[in-house]
């Protein structure tokens, strides 16, 4: 796809967005989107709008409902790194940790469903990743998986902070890149999802 080959050119993005706007049917717009990955937005009427540089990664969907869920469920659980028995042990460990009431909703049951972590909200994924994951899973994971989780947890902690500095963003970028390389080298390129790219 052309949009994959030229992701950083705002003029190309605008051109494809205008073309999408000119499509005269839903099917032609769908076809155009499949080819270029771009739709029109009214924000493109602003002359200073740079659709590449101004893109905001939504931490709720991309980071927590996307990458966090993918790492835990699709990699660690589905690839046999964490069994349902280990999830029961992890759940028991969580049950013995007392947190302040202002943390938000705590994931009550991670060892339920066919492969655990059933129906967690973005806020519960955030709580699990930032507060619980390394504490309760560390001894269950091998060295590469610990590194994947460690890079991701540190990046999440920096991204959800009230204030983020340029140095923080540089560290996040490096940690997410290292995490992506580890996932690719350990599990294969098919485990690199669009959310992992979007997070970068």
Per-residue pLDDT of the chain (200 residues; tens, 9 = 90+): 444 444 568 889 899 999 999 999 999 999 999 998 899 999 999 888 888 777 666 778 899 999 999 999 999 999 999 988 998 899 889 888 888 877 766 666 776 666 677 778 888 899 899 999 999 999 999 999 999 999 999 999 999 898 989 999 999 999 999 999 999 999 999 999 888 888 88
**Contacts with 155 (C-beta within 8 Å, 6 or more apart), sequence order:** 171, 172, 175, 176, 179, 199
- What predicted TM-score, i.e. pTM, was given to this entire model? 0.71
Rounded Cα–Cα distance for residues 74 and 77 (Å): 6
* CA distances (Å), origin 21, targets 4, 18, 32, 45: 20, 5, 10, 12
Residue with token string 């294969």: 188
- Per-residue pLDDT at 114: 62
């Amino acid at each position: 796809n052309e949009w994959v080959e030229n992701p950083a050119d705002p003029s190309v993005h605008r051109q494809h967005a205008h073309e999408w706007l000119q499509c005269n049917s839903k099917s032609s717009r769908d076809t155009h989107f499949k080819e270029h990955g771009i739709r029109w937005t009214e924000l493109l009427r602003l002359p200073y709008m740079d659709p590449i540089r101004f893109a905001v990664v939504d931490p709720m969907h991309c980071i927590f409902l996307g990458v966090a869920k993918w790492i835990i469920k699709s990699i660690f659980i589905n690839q046999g790194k964490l069994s349902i028995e280990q999830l029961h042990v992890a759940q028991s460990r969580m049950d013995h940790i007392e947190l302040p009431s202002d943390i938000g909703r705590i994931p009550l049951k991670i060892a339920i469903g066919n492969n655990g972590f059933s129906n967690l909200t973005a806020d519960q994924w955030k709580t699990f990743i930032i507060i619980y994951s390394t504490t309760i899973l560390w001894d269950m994971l091998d060295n590469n998986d610990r590194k994947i989780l460690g890079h991701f947890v540190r990046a999440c902690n920096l991204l959800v902070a009230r204030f983020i500095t340029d140095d923080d963003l540089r560290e996040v970028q490096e940690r997410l890149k290292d995490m992506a390389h580890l996932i690719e080298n350990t599990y294969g390129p098919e485990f690199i999802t669009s959310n992992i790219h979007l997070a970068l």
